[in-house]
Chain A
Amino acid sequence: MDKFETLTGVAAPLPMINIDTDMIIPKQFLKTIKRTGLGKSLFFEMRYDDAGKEIPGFVLNKPAYRQAQILVAGANFGCGSSREHAPWSILDFGIRCVIAPSFADIFYNNCFKNGILPIRLPQETCDKLMKAASNGANAAFTADLKGQEITTPDGEKVAFEVDSFRKHCLLNGLDDIGLTLAKKTKIEAYESARKTAQPWV
Chain B
Amino acid sequence: MTAPRTLFDKIWDSHLVDRQEDGTCLIYIDRHLVHEVTSPQAFEGLALSGRKMHRPGQTLAVADHNVPTTDRSQGIADPESRTQVETLEANGKAFGVRVFSMSDVRQGVVHIVGPEQGFTLPGMTIVCGDSHTSTHGAFGSLAFGIGTSEVEHVLATQTLVQAHAKNMLVRIDGKLPEGATAKDIVLKIVATLGTAGGTGYVIEYAGGAIRDLSMEGRMTICNMSIEAGARAGLIASDETTFAYVKGRPMAPAAADWDKAVAYWKTLSTDAGAHFDATVVIDAATIVPQVTWGTSPEDVVAIDGCVPDPKKAADEGKAKAMQRSLDYMGLTAGQPMEEVKIDRIFIGSCTNGRIEDLRAAASVAKGRTVAATVKAMVVPGSGLVKKQAEEEGLDKIFREAGFEWREPGCSMCLAMNADKLEPGERCASTSNRNFEGRQGRGGRTHLVSPEIAAASAITGHLTDVRKLLA
Mark B130-169 against chain A: 1 for CB-CB distance below 8 A, else 0: 1101000000000001111110110011110101000000
Of all A-B residue pairs in the complex, the 4 with the closest CB atoms, nearest first, are A200-B252, A113-B149, A33-B40, A31-B80
- The reply to whether B436 and A16 contact each other, CB–CB distance below 8 Å, is no
Determine how close the nearest CB of chain A comes to the CB of B48; give it in whole angstroms: 11
What residues on B are CB-neighbors of A102 within 8 Å? 196, 199
Known: A163-B22, A201-B30. 4 other contacts (CB 8 A): A30-B65, A76-B196, A82-B146, A104-B199
Contact A82 B229 (CB under 8 A): no
The answer to whether B84 and A33 touch across the interface, beta carbons within 8 angstroms, is yes
Partner of A45, one of B30, B83, B149, B436: B436
Q: List 7 A-B contacts (CB under 8 A).
A: A23-B434, A27-B413, A30-B65, A103-B199, A113-B149, A113-B150, A180-B159
**B24 A22 Cβ-Cβ under 8 A:** no
**Are B147 and A84 interface neighbours, CB within 8 A?**
yes
- A19 CB, nearest partner CB in chain B, Å: 10
Given A23-B435, A79-B196, A180-B159: A198 in contact with B263 (beta carbons within 8 A): yes
B121 at interface by CB-CB < 8 Å: yes
- In whole angstroms, how far apart are the Cα atoms of A191 and B30 in the complex? 10
Residues of A close to B145: CB separation below 8 A? 81-82, 106
A176 at interface by CB-CB < 8 Å = yes
Instruction: Determine whether B200 belongs to the interface, using a CB cutoff of 8 Å to chain A.
Output: yes
* Interface status of A26 (Cβ within 8 A of chain B): yes
Instruction: Mark contacts of B245-280 with chain A using CB atoms, 8 A cut-off: 1 yes-contact digit, 0 otherwise.
Output: 000000110001101100100000000000000000
Chain B residues near A173 (CB-CB < 8 A): none
For the complex, is A155 an interface residue (Cβ under 8 Å from B)? no
Contacts of B295 in A (CB 8 A): 18
Which residues of chain B from 177 to 217 have any CB-CB distance to chain A below 8 Å in the complex?
195-196, 199-200
Q: Which of chain A's residues have a CB closer than 8 A to the CB of B83?
A: 31, 33
Q: Is the CB of B131 within 8 A of A30?
A: no
How many A residues touch the partner, as a band? Answer: 35 or more
Interface string of B426-449 (1 = CB under 8 A from A): 000000101111001000000000
User: Across the interface, which residues of B come within 8 angstroms of A183, CB to CB?
Assistant: 17-18, 26
Establish whether residues B147 and A106, one from each chain, have CB atoms under 8 Å apart when the complex forms: yes
Q: B263 near A81 (CB under 8 angstroms)? A: no
B18-47 at interface with A (beta carbon < 8 Å): 18, 20, 22, 24, 26, 28, 30, 37-38, 40-41, 44
Knowing A163-B163, A198-B263, A200-B259, the reply to whether A82 touches B432 (Cβ < 8 A) is: no
Residue contact B149 to A181, C-beta cutoff 8 Å: no
Q: State whether B414 touches A84 (Cβ < 8 A).
A: no
Closest chain B CB from A134 CB (angstroms): 15
Q: Please tell me if the beta carbons of B87 and A190 are within 8 angstroms of each other in the complex.
A: no
CA distance A76 to B295 in the complex (A): 12
- Mark each residue of chain A from 106 to 131: 1 if its CB lies under 8 Å from any CB of chain B, else 0: 10011001100000000000000000
* A80 and B434 contacting across the interface, CB-CB below 8 Å: yes
Chain B residue numbers with a CB within 8 Å of A179 are 161
A residues near B435, Cβ cutoff 8 Å: 22-23, 45
- Asked if A177 is an interface residue, CB under 8 A from chain B, the answer is yes
Taking the complex as formed, is B74 at the interface, i.e. its CB lies under 8 A from any CB of chain A?
Answer: no
Q: Are A180 and B152 closer than 8 Å at their CB atoms?
A: no
Are B316 and A82 in touch, CB under 8 angstroms? no
Q: Is the CB of B22 within 8 A of A30?
A: no
Within 8 A of B (CB), among A23-39: 23, 26-28, 30-35
**A56 to B30 alpha-carbon distance, docked (Å):** 49
Chain B residues with Cβ below 8 Å from A30 are 37, 65, 415
Name which of A83, A109, A200 has the most chain B CB atoms within 10 A of its CB.
Answer: A200
Q: Given B161, B163, B195, B256, which contacts A176 in the complex, CB threshold below 8 Å? A: B161
Binding site for B on A (CB under 8 A): 16-18, 20, 22-23, 26-28, 30-35, 45, 74-76, 79-84, 87, 102-106, 109-110, 113-114, 163-165, 176-177, 179-181, 183-184, 186-187, 190-191, 194, 198-201
The CA-CA distance from A80 to B148 in the complex, in Å, is 15
The CA of A117 and the CA of B40, in the complex, are separated in Å by 25
Report the minimum CB–CB distance from A186 to chain B (whole Å): 5
Q: Is B81 located at the chain interface by the 8 A CB criterion?
A: yes
Query: Out of B80, B148, B200, which one reaches A84, CB within 8 Å?
Result: B148
Q: Which residues of A contact B163 (CB under 8 A)?
A: 163
**What residue in chain B is nearest A15 (Cβ atoms)?**
B316
| B252 nearest CB neighbor, chain A only | A200
A187–B157 Cα distance when bound, in Å, is: 8
State which of B55, B65, B229, B432 has its C-beta within 8 Å of the C-beta of A105. B229
Q: Indicate if the CB atoms of B159 and A34 lie closer than 8 Å.
A: no
In the complex, A30 Cα to B41 Cα: how many Å?
Answer: 11
Q: Is the CB of B121 within 8 A of A16?
A: no
B106 contacts A by Cβ under 8 Å: no
User: Of all chain A residues, which has the CB nearest B253?
Assistant: A200
Min distance, Cβ B107 to any Cβ of chain A, angstroms: 19
- Residues from chain B with Cβ under 8 Å of A106 in the complex: 131, 145-147
A165/B22 in contact, CB under 8 A: yes
Bound-complex Cα distance A87 to B163 (A) = 20
B336–chain A nearest beta-carbon distance, Å: 22
Would you call B49 an interface residue if the criterion is a C-beta within 8 Å of the partner chain's C-beta atoms? yes
Nearest chain-A residue to B415 (Cβ)?
Answer: A27
Chain B residues within 8 Å of A75, by CB: 196
Contact of B131 among A16, A82, A165, A190 (CB under 8 A): A82
Q: Which of B413-469 contact A (CB under 8 A)?
A: 413-415, 432, 434-437, 440
CA distance A45 to B442 in the complex (A): 13
Interface-central residue, B30, B133, B159, B231, by most chain A CB under 10 Å = B159
Question: Does the CB pair A194–B229 fall under 8 Å?
Answer: no
| B65 contacts across to A, CB distance below 8 A | 30
Contact call B199/A181, Cβ cutoff below 8 A: no
Per the 8 Å Cβ criterion, residues 307-358 of B in contact with A are 316-317, 320
Chain A residues in 8 Å Cβ range of B93:
none
Decide if B51 is an interface residue (CB 8 Å cutoff): yes
